[in-house]
Amino acid sequence: MITDEILVVKEVNYKENDKILHALSRTKGKIQLIARGSKKSNSHLINASQLFAYSKCSMTKSRDMYIITSAELINSFYNLKNNIDAFYHGNYVLELISYVAQENDYDYRIFDMTVAVLSHLCTMSKDFEKLTAAYELKLVSMLGYRPYLKHCLSCGKEIKEDSVFSIKEGGLFCSRCVNYGSGINVTYGEILTMERILKSKFEDIDSIEVNQKILQVIRNFLFYYIGKDNFTTLKLL
């Protein structure tokens, strides 16, 4: 018997009353679970077997699947369904993490951060793009591609001025070294914005001004390092 926290990222109907759940687990990475009887209205697994369900599950392993024996719902993120923008952004988070997460490879910080961002999406009425961008930038950093924002990649000088941000090189070039790399012109203020996002918790993102250009830079940066940019849910946003 194994116990783990899971977040359901996809549900697939299986046989008459069962579901196969694709989930992110806190200590095993991406897993698939069978929730037997979970389509029945009186099932004790009904709440934990929905998309977005975050729960503590007991399970047994059978070949490459897990069978849920019991589940205790921690959060269904029900409020996402009350705001269409929050709902779409939540779906994008699930699609993104589902792509990025690997089987047998886990990072509990990424799991906790994903649960936290969904929880914050539930409490907000605007600025979903900003919160999602913060998630994207923190995610790509946790995956090992934190952008280097302190010093010029070429001469090593501390950055205190408008610079050029290179996605491919993963950092900044100062005005004297700008010819060594191609990239996007960013102001010192925009550089500080990215620094602040990386250092802030989601509840403090509210106080940070993030312009459209930086939202796009963050997304392009993430997509470059994960090697995918055609997320279905983004077409809905």
Interface residues with Zn ion (CB under 5 A) are 152, 154-155, 157, 174, 177
Farthest CA pair distance, the chain: 68
Least Cβ distance, residue 186 to Zn ion (angstroms): 14
Q: How far is the CB of 154 from Zn ion (least distance, A)?
A: 5
Choice between 149 and 234, CB closer to Zn ion: 149
Closest contact distance (angstroms) between CB of 191 and Zn ion is: 14
Residue pair 220/167 in contact by the 8 Å Cβ criterion: yes
Q: Please choose, from the candidates 84, 63, 90, the residue with its C-alpha nearest in 3D space to the C-alpha of residue 8.
A: 90
Q: Please say which residue, 177 or 184, places its beta carbon nearer to Zn ion.
A: 177
Q: Give which of 6, 38, 52 is closest to 25, Cα–Cα.
A: 6
Strand 2-14 to 65-75 pairing: unpaired
CB of 173 to Zn ion, least distance (A): 6
Q: Smallest distance, Å, CB 149 to Zn ion?
A: 13
Residue closer to Zn ion by CB (options 174, 205) is: 174
183 touches 165 (CB < 8 A): yes
CA distance 210 to 131: 10
CA distance 122 to 89: 10
What amino acid is encoded at 214 in this protein?
I
Of residues 100 and 174, the one with the C-beta less far from Zn ion? 174
CB 158 to Zn ion: min, Å: 10
- Amino acid, single-letter form, for residue 186: V
Using the minimum distance from each CB to Zn ion, give the nearer residue, 12 or 155. Answer: 155
Q: Which helix (H) or strand (E) holds 88?
A: helix 84-100
Q: What angle (nearest 5°) sits at the alpha carbon of residue 62, between those of residues 59 and 67?
A: 35
- Amino acid identity at 195: E
Whichever of 161 and 206 has its CB closer to Zn ion, that residue is 161
